[in-house]
Structure formats: C-alpha cells, structure tokens
Amino acid sequence: MASLIDAGAPVNRLREELAKLRLPGWELSVREVMKGAFRATKVDVVIDRSAHHAHRSLSDILAILGASALGTDITADAARIFTRLADAEARAHGTTREEVHFHDVGAIDAIVDVVGGVLALSLLGVERVSCSALPIGGGMVNGPHGKIPIPGPGTAELLRGFPVVDTGVRAELVTPTGAAILTTLAEGAGRMPAMTVASVGYGAGTMELPTIPNLLRCFVGETEPSPSMIESTEAGDETVVQLETTIDDMSPQLYEPLMERLFEGGALDVFLTPVIMKRGRPGVVLTALCAPDLVGELSRRLFEESSTIGVRWSERRRARLERQMVTVQTIYGAVACKVSSFEGRVVTVTPEFAEVARIAREKSLPVREVLDQARAEARREVLPSGGR
C-alpha cells in the first residue's frame, strides 16, 4: 500500500474508500521517511488499543467485507486473499480454514492492509500484477507457540509455485499477509515484464535491516498489448498448447469463476465437455488453449480454482484467419468489432458482445437490438457494397 501511494495512488481517495469498511478503531498514518539513502513513504495502521478487538475467523472477515460499501470487485479480491491465507495456515497447522483465527489488533491491521492494497491498485488503474522472485529471509522468529523458522509455515505454504531467493538477510522479509496479497494477485513472477514505466514507488517497512534498506519498490507502467488486444493479426499457422483436466467432484457454480481466471491469465479459449467416467459417473473435461509459455501459469490457476489433482497438455497446430479490430459508431455508442478475412476477402464481422451487453444494460435496451445495429454498422463500414 505504501509503495503504491508513493507511486501515485491518491491517499485522500484511499482513506475515503477504506472508510467504507465501516470498521471502527483505527486510522491511517502516511508520512515520508528515509531508509538508508532512499526517500520512501511509510504507512501505518494506527489501532485504538482502548477499544475491544475480538479474534476474528475467516467467516467474520468475509462478513465485514460483505457488509461494507466497497465495490464488489474490491471485496472479491480481498476475499480471495483472506481465503488463500486461511487455507495456507490451515494446511500448515493441520486444521480447517474456519478454525484459523486472526488475532486481536492484527486482524484489523491485516484487513486494512489487504483492502488498502487492492484499493490502491484499483485507484492506479492497474490491470495486471507481476512480482519478482520473493526474498524469503532466514533465521528464527517468535510465534504464538514459540520460535519458528523463517519463512513461517503459513508463508511457506503460500509461496508454493512462486520463485523465491535467499538474499542472506536473517530476518522475516515476507510476512504471511504480504505473501497472500502477492501470490493471489500476481499473474506472473520472476522476470519483470517489458513495459514503459510511468512511475516508481518506494514503500518503507518498520524494521531496520543491517545490510539493505527495508523497502518495497513498485513500477507502474504500460506493457505491450496482449494478443486479444492487438488491433490486427496476420493469417497463418501457429503452435498452441491444449491443456485438459477431467473433473467429477466440483460444484457447477465454480466453473464460471474458474473460466474467468483462465481467460484473465491469457487463455485463448476455454470450454467444457460433459463425459461419462468410470463406474458411470458424470464428469466434465475442461479444455483451455494457450500460448506455450503460459502452460505453467494456467496450470497453477487450475490447481488453485478447481478440485483437479492433475493437468495434461499437448501441442496443437492451428490455422488462423487474418483479424482486425475496428470501432464503429452506432446510434447507441461506439462498439468494437472483430473483422476476419481470408485471402483479402472479409468473411465475418463480429461485434464484441461484452460491449453490446454493456450498452444494452446502460440504455435499458434489448441486447439483440443493439447487436443487430452494431453488426449492420460494421458491415456498412468494412463492406461498402453491403456484402455479408
């Protein structure tokens, strides 16, 4: 949160949004400090220790998020972070997520930290998060039941599947809350993506480390567009990877968020096929197509968001038509359309359905009416003779 404020997230707006938690007994302190030779922003959640703060379970925290006046996208991300944190602590200590408790003032601190981080990303307009290999630190730290090694057991669980590095510092450099935020929100880890940097933020920690400044640095900028955002692509053959997994023990309600997560991670297509498995059990084959370098990331999302215990993949060759995105003006507003061509001849004109649905919802119109109007305008623009 401190590094994002330092990178430009408006602190007054952040305070206004955090007030929507309707959680009493704290305030946000923001100031500039020096850490070694670096100027940085220090953020503290100042707790009113005279108030009574009960221990809170995951269901308590989810209820606080649900009762807040925050946007659903903010509460959904915060809920994912806390659920992942509770699951990691439960696995580490051999219990269930509901038996995990966030103790006393630490619960308030963690709620503000998590929600504040998600809000700051939203206020900066961040669409994708990547992180470096995480410096895990070393040594021992005092826990509720005595000394434990660094990283702690909950943190270690959260770091599974993410690159880590030992920098030689004997201190806790990644806390369970920090690990939960990064490993839940980051779509990639390791190398920094190619980007045009717009701002750099430095967030200061509390500890004074002997050999390095205790800072978290973030870069905010624009990356190259993803394949789905490219204005035009040439026709040709290419290699893609087909990931598959067969599931027979998952609630149907979970497939929609699972598919959304795969598309967010760069999947080219995702679809479900009903199958009959051994002993006549009904099941579902989930198939995702992606670029070869996304196999690891999409596999991780499948393991996180579904009940599968295995993913298989194979390479496939595919032929692709030339495609171009054009924006047409309709009587209801601008709509992006995908135009596909074969040997120089337009064969399909398809309005982006999400934009059509949004316009229909905002103007209280039938979706079909907006879709037909957008398709007709697009055909007139790319096919002046009125062809199909």
The 10s digit of each residue's pLDDT in 340-368 is: 888 878 888 888 888 888 888 888 889 99
Task: Report the sign of the C-alpha dihedral through residues 30, 32, 33, 36, in that order.
Answer: positive
In contact, 325 and 337? CB cutoff 8 Å: yes
Asked if the model's pLDDT at residue 247 lies above 90, the reply is yes
Task: Write down the pTM of the prediction.
Answer: 0.60
Phi, psi of 333 (to 5 degrees): 135, 180
Domain ranges of the chain: 2-223, 237-320, 322-382
pLDDT class for 234, splitting at 50, 70, 90? low
Phi, psi of 231 (to 5 degrees): -65, -35
Q: Which of 17, 174, 188, 181 has the alpha carbon at shortest distance from 83?
A: 181
Q: What is the mean pLDDT of residues 136-147?
A: 82
CATH number of 322-382: 3.10.20.300
pLDDT class for 226, splitting at 50, 70, 90? very low
Q: What is the predicted pLDDT for the residue at 104?
A: 43
Q: Does the domain formed by 237-320 have CATH 3.30.70.1380?
A: yes
How far apart CA 233 and CA 228 sit, in angstroms, is 10
Quote the longest CA-to-CA distance of the chain: 79
Q: What is the predicted pLDDT for the residue at 233?
A: 55
CA distances from 219 to 37, 128, 129, 267 (A): 19, 12, 10, 25
Q: Which residues contact 169 (CB under 8 A, 6 or more apart)?
A: 135, 137, 138, 209, 210, 211, 212
